[in-house]
Structure 1
Amino acid sequence: MPFAPGNEKAGEKLFKTRCASCHTLEKGGSSKTGPNLHGLFGRVSGQATDSFSYSDASKKAAVTWEEGTLFDYLENPKKFMPGTKMAFGGLKKDKDRNDLVTFLKSSTA
């Protein structure tokens, strides 16, 4: 199933419970275990200008983060990008990924 716009409020809740321990969203925000996600859409994996230390897998994958690529990645990050440092196991439900991607699209611009 491809990406379809989801529920932004449900996506915000998912971000807070599943992502916020490792990622920040605000412009100029610091990186945690994972990189700051501000400006994520249109960015190439492993290429942000912050000081985050990306895995070689992320740098070499050169994935442009858009709704579809992020939807696919979030299902199983290690399968999508073997060698990634992201420890997150993924979101198996399409609805959850649609909701989270919808939230991220609006909150990282």
Structure 2
Amino acid sequence: MNDRFNTTAGWTLFAGVVALGLSSVSAKYFQADKHHAPHEMGYAIEGVETEGGADQGPSFASLLATADVAKGEKLFGKCVSCHTINAGGPNGIGPNLHGVVGEEIGKGVGGFAFSSALSGHGGTWTFDLLDEWLASPKAFAPGTKMSFAGLSKAEDRANLIAYLNTQGSNLPLPAVEEAPPAEEAAAEGGEAPAEEATAETPAEAAPAH
């Protein structure tokens, strides 16, 4: 009786070990062709986001300089359920946005009741502040009544702000900073031109006889 029990228990244990092994092998087999990011990047790969955010892209001023106003107007279609933008247009759920670029933050015109999160902010709507606002209204002004989640792509924000600027503001776009010539030469692997020699050679310096 004991021999039969021991035999049965042994085979049961063996079957469990085999099943566990097959499960591990099959898992590795079926995951072999699936690509997974390593837990720690050995070196930076262009286009791959690392912990702490995405790689630095063009400056916002550069994006504004090349912004597509037509695309910005199309993006504004997401805003028309709450905002108007024509001159003298009525307020909706949100304020009329005609001439918003350069306008005082949280003041506006037309008697719109802004939340204290914006009315107490201070300053004016610069291009950079509009960029921050459109990226995440709740992060820019905690407590705002604005329910819009924001635009994650900097290019979309630049296009939209460029369009808003054409609607009653028409402020000059911020200048795009250019690298100094010396830095550009270093970046291209070149060297600054050597100074031209001004000293005369011994033959030239010798007095004529």
Give the TM-score band, short-chain normalised. over 0.9
- 1:2 shift after superposition: 2.6
1:11 equivalent to 2:69? Answer no
Runs of 4+ in 1 over 2 A off after TM superposition: 1-4
Please give the residue correspondences for 1:62-81 in structure 2 after superposition, counting only pairs within 5 Å: 62-81=122-141
- Which one has more relative contact order, counting CA pairs under 8 Å at least 6 apart? 1
Answer with 1 or 2: which has the greater Rg: 2
Q: Counterpart in 2 of 1:2?
A: 60
The percentage of counterpart residues that share the same residue type is: 40
8 Å contact kept, 2:83–2:94: yes
2:164 is paired with a residue whose SS is helix
Please give the residue correspondences for 1:19-98 in structure 2 after superposition, counting only pairs within 5 Å: 19-98=79-158
2:149 is paired with a residue whose SS is coil
Q: Counterpart in 1 of 2:27?
A: none
2:97 is paired with a residue whose SS is coil
1:61 is paired with a residue whose SS is coil
- 1:7 shift after superposition: 0.6
CA distance in 2, matches of 1:8, 1:70: 16
The aligned length equals 108
Instruction: Give unmatched runs, 5+ long, in structure 2.
Output: 1-58, 170-209
